[in-house]
Structure 1
Amino acid sequence: MAYALPAIFPDQLILVPKFWLVFGFLAGITYIAYGVADLGLKRNPDVGVMAIMGSIALKMIFAMAFVLIYSLKSKENGFVFVLNFFSLYLLFSFFEIYCLLRNLRHQNKK
């Protein structure tokens, strides 16, 4: 979809120039956060909720640091960056929470 949007709307700035950097960073930090939460759930299911909350907090801190560094280094349209960043952030967060809830559902059946 990210490839198709600039082709569909060639006159509009829909994606920031370094969109794939933002995408890669959020994909990587989501993968790490999911791994930490999943590891916490597998080691001690009683404390698994704390692992989930910790991984989400860690992801949010790194995301805020990325936004700060990116906005200081880049002098482009901030509104487009905010739309791109938060749409990706929410998409990856939905994916992470969905996968973790599926794992919790399987543990409750045991």
Structure 2
Amino acid sequence: MIGIVVLIPQILPASDILVPSFWLIFGFLGGITYIAYLLAHIGIHKNPEAGVVAILGSVIVKLIFCMAFVLIYSIKAKESGLLFIVNFFSLYLLFTVFEMYCLLRNLRHQNLK
């Protein structure tokens, strides 16, 4: 994923498809996704019956922190709002899909035992 982001400005140098603070967004979402994954993973292993609740709780925590980030960033930055929204939510979707895939794989392995 990082490789694609690095290659986009080299392939399309004249277009502005990434906000200047893209790496801040990437780092924030990477960190918050890791924390949400750890919370859900610990919840799944503590009580396997409540695994779905742990996953849902981690997604809600991630969503609340992301909404706060968007609010703070949009107040502070004076950049294009639409470009920021497209960049942020495309990364949010990618990180969330990756997190759900990993967590559901863990649940699948527990069902086989």
Aligning the two structures, in what range does the TM-score lie when normalised by the shorter sequence?
Answer: over 0.9
Match of 1:11 among 11, 14, 21: 14
Q: Could you tell me which of 79, 82, 86 is aligned with 2:82?
A: 79
Q: Helix, strand or coil for the counterpart of 2:78?
A: coil
Root-mean-square deviation (CA, aligned residues, Å) is: 0.6
Give 1:1-110 correspondences, 5 Å limit. Answer: 1-110=4-113
The list of structure 1 runs, each at least 4 consecutive aligned residues, that deviate by more than 4 angstroms after superposition, is: none
Looking at structure 2, the residues matched to 108 and 46 of structure 1 have their Cα atoms a distance apart, in angstroms, of 10
SS in 2 for 1:104: helix
Say which is worse superposed, 45-54 or 92-101, in terms of deviation.
45-54
Q: Return the offset for 1:7.
A: 1.4
Partner amino acid for 2:97? F
Deviation sequence 1:64-101 (CA, Å, 0-9, x none): 00000001100011111111101100000000000011
Conserved in 1, the CA contact under 8 Å of 2:44 and 2:51?
A: yes
Determine the C-alpha separation between the residues in 2 that align with 1:49 and 1:101. Answer: 9
Q: State percent identity of aligned pairs.
A: 64
Contact 2:51 2:107 in 1 (8 A): no
Q: Distance in 1 between matches of 2:28 and 2:94?
A: 13
TM-score, reference length from structure 1: 0.97
Which 5+ residue runs of structure 2 have no aligned equivalent?
A: none
User: What code does the residue aligned with 1:89 have?
Assistant: Y
Q: Which range moved further: 25-34 or 1-10?
A: 1-10
Q: Distance in 1 between matches of 2:46 and 2:52?
A: 12
Task: Find the aligned partners of 2:73 and 2:15 in 1 and give their Cα distance.
Answer: 22
